[in-house]
Structures are given as structure tokens and as C-alpha cells.
Structure 1
Amino acid sequence: MKLKCLVTAILASTIFNTSYAKDDHQQHGAHEHGHAQLNIAQEGGTVTMQFISPAANILGFEHHPKNEEQETQLEQAIQQLKKGDGLFGFPEAAKCELVSAKVETSIMDKDEDHHEGEDEHHEEASHTKESNHKEEHDDKESHSEFDVEYSFTCSQPAKFHQLQVHLFDAFKGIEEIRTQYIGEQGQQGYELTPKVSVFNLP
């Protein structure tokens, strides 16, 4: 329960941009290609992380997969994101292991168009309606994101003093990760880049 409070504190913290919240209006304001967010909460030997990124950083596109190649690409990205022990490097002495990884993405949502012209007399009106619907749908898809939750356990938590983030190597579309840590020893915010990808705990 305490850990949930820590995660909530991270999400509510004013240190980083709270516009990563799920509200659509906020989400659109925070959605910036190349940028991502990593929230880290620690309680004793339990470390929970939340990674949020525009789908474009991960896949190169943000619409629902349109062909088999893109479907395969999406599935491979999901499987890669689940391999948290390969995306984050803990100090060996901390003896940390991945317990679970949960991947959610709005790119999987597909709003089927059920308004195709059924009456020839209304073909023109139907076409206009479909076009407007497609524009609204494309706009919604253009803000697809990945939201991933990781849980790790560390048998030597006192040795967990830094974290190597390999997300830049795995997903070349990521240029910057705004990182926020909160734990019993303090709170720390930092911006990671491909050249500076090690996060030091407070």
C-alpha cells in the first residue's frame, strides 16, 4: 500500500510535467515525439517503474497497424518492452530481478467506421460524414502512447544507487527521457539523453 502511495506521489508531483495524466486534453499537451517519461518508486527492496512514451518513439508510427508488417512490428515492440531486465541496468551488487511487466497502448484501440454509405441517394452526404469521421479518428490515433509498468525486487536494496537506462538503444526514436525518482531516501528529477543515460539516485 505504501508503494502505491509513492507511485501516486510521483504522478502528482509538480517536479515533472503532470500533463502526462490520462486526461485527453492534458495528454495532447504533453505528447511530444522524441520525449518520454520514466517514473521510479522504491520502498525497501521493491522498485516500481512507469514508462510513458508516444508510440512514434517506439514504432515510428502512431496509427493502428495497417498491414501485417506493422502488426508484427507492434507485437515485437510489446515483447521488447516486457523485457525490463534488458532495458534497465541495476548495479550487480543490488541483486535486482524483474517480477512483472505490463504493457498498455492506445494504439491497439480501433474505432471501426460503421457509417459507410448504405443508400445511394445519400452517397455524397455519407462520404462527407466518413471524411470527417476519418479526420477525427486520425487525430485520435496521432496521439497514441505506450504506458508500461515494471516491478523489480532487490535483495540488496542499499546497493541500488543508480540505474542504467537502455531504452535509447532499444528504441532510436527516443531523444530524451524525463525521469523522476521517489523513495525513502529522497526525491530526484533528471533528464536523460542517449549520451547521459545513467540515473543517479539521491
Structure 2
Amino acid sequence: MKAAKLAVICFMVGCIFSAQGHQHHHHSHGEGVLFVVHDQDKWQVKFILPAGDIFGFEHQPETAEQKQVIKKTLAKLENSQQLVTFNGECKLIHAKFENPFEHHTHHAHQDLEVEYSFSCDKPVSKVTVTLFAWTEAISVIEAQWITEQAQGIAELTATKPYIEWPL
């Protein structure tokens, strides 16, 4: 039964990430998207953020300074707490993101996609976006979540950077 439940949740996550992240997400400066999915002690988090708001530009880096900005920012993303924290005791299992400028593309707008997987030893009732603390360029994050108890949508800002639910 657990394997079937996990398969359904994984399918739902794939559908949400695929559909929302690529078809319905419109690229708007100052706005990002967050998906949070929970199953037992596992948590998946995915951000889709405009590269211009994270790096300060969307074109291929042209100067040594821009290349350094990319390097520093990608290093910052290795620490998941730079983007998100949980109120439970959670351990980062996996981080996945790529330099959006690494592959030459003809898109006028670049997005940065960041995915984290966590394992939490204690129940989680609150997820906080810490990204607002280091980039003022993002003013709104549209958050969607699915937990074992509930699902929902919320608009997160620097003054209300979290989603929470009763345990």
C-alpha cells in the first residue's frame, strides 16, 4: 500500500512540476514559484525563479564580474537554508540546480530552477522561504503544496514568507 501511495504522490509531483513549471508558469520579474510536496518523512521543494532577479542579468555573462556573480550565487544555492527552512528537524538529502547560462539558448528570459530533497525526523508544520533575506528583486513567490494532511496555494512575500498548517 505504501509503495502505491508513494507512486501516486511521485506521479502528482511530476505532473505539478512539469505542468506548472513549464506550461503555466509565466516569466515575470519579481515573481517566483515554489512547489512543496510531502510524503512520510520525505519533502521535495522546487523553486522556479527569474534568473535576472537572482543574478542581476538574464543574458550570457559578458564580464568577469558577471561570471563571478554566477559562481557565488550557485555556491550559495548549495546551502538550502539560503532559500528555505523547515520548523522540523530536516536534513538535506539532495540539491539539484544548474547554471542557467551554461547551455547556450535563444530564450530572451532565463529561469533558475532549484530542487531540494529533505528527510525530516520530526513533523513539519511550517516552511519558510529565506530567499527574501538576500534578494530584494523577488517580491512575491506563488507557493503550492501537497502534504499528507492537506494541500494549498499561498502568496509569499518578505512580510509573510512562510506557509504553515496544523499537525
Task: Give the TM interval when normalised to the shorter protein.
Answer: 0.7 to 0.9
Correspondence for 2:11: 5
Contact 1:55/1:107 (<8 A) preserved: no
SS at match of 2:101: helix
Name the structure where strand makes up a greater proportion of residues. 2
Of 98, 106, 109, the residue aligned with 2:100 is: 106
Unaligned runs of 5+ in 2: 1-5
Aligned equivalents of 1:109 and 1:62: distance in 2? 13
Q: Which residue in the other structure is 1:54 paired with? A: 50
Deviation (angstroms), 1:12: 6.5
Residue 10 (structure 1) shift:
3.1
Helix, strand or coil for the counterpart of 2:14?
helix
Identity between Structure 1 and Structure 2 (%): 31
Structure 1: how far apart are the matches of 2:83 and 2:157? 14
**Runs of 5+ consecutive residues of structure 1 not aligned to the other structure:** 112-136
2:112 is aligned with 1:146: yes
Contact 2:31 2:138 in 1 (8 A): yes
Is the contact between residue 59 and residue 101 of structure 2 (CA under 8 Å) also seen in structure 1? Answer: yes
Q: TM-score, normalised by structure 2?
A: 0.86
In the alignment, what sits opposite 1:165? 129
Q: Which amino acid aligns with 1:109?
A: H
Higher alpha-carbon Rg? 1
Q: Distance in 2 between matches of 1:145 and 1:12?
A: 14
Deviation, 1:81, is 1.6
Partner SS for 1:196: coil
Conserved? CA contact 1:6–1:182, under 8 Å: no
Q: Any runs of at least 4 consecutive aligned residues in structure 1 with deviations exceeding 6 A, and if so which?
A: none
Native 8 Å contact 2:82 2:131 kept in 1? no
Instruction: Check 1:31–1:105 CA distance in 2 against 1; reply closer, same or farther (3 A cut).
Output: farther
Does the CA contact (< 8 Å) of 1:162 and 1:201 recur in 2? yes
Let me know the Cα RMSD of the aligned residues: 2.0
- Structure with more relative contact order (C-alpha pairs < 8 Å, separation 6 or more): 1
Does 1:33 pair with 2:39?
Answer: no
Partner of 2:3: none
> In structure 1, what residue type is equivalent to 2:97?
V
The 5 Å alignment of 1:47-196 reads 47-91=43-87, 94-110=88-104, 137=106, 140=107, 142-157=108-123, 160-196=124-160
What residue identity is the alignment partner of 2:51? A
TM-score by length of 1: 0.72
Task: Letter of the 1:47 partner, please give it.
Answer: W
What is the number of equivalent residue pairs in this alignment? 160
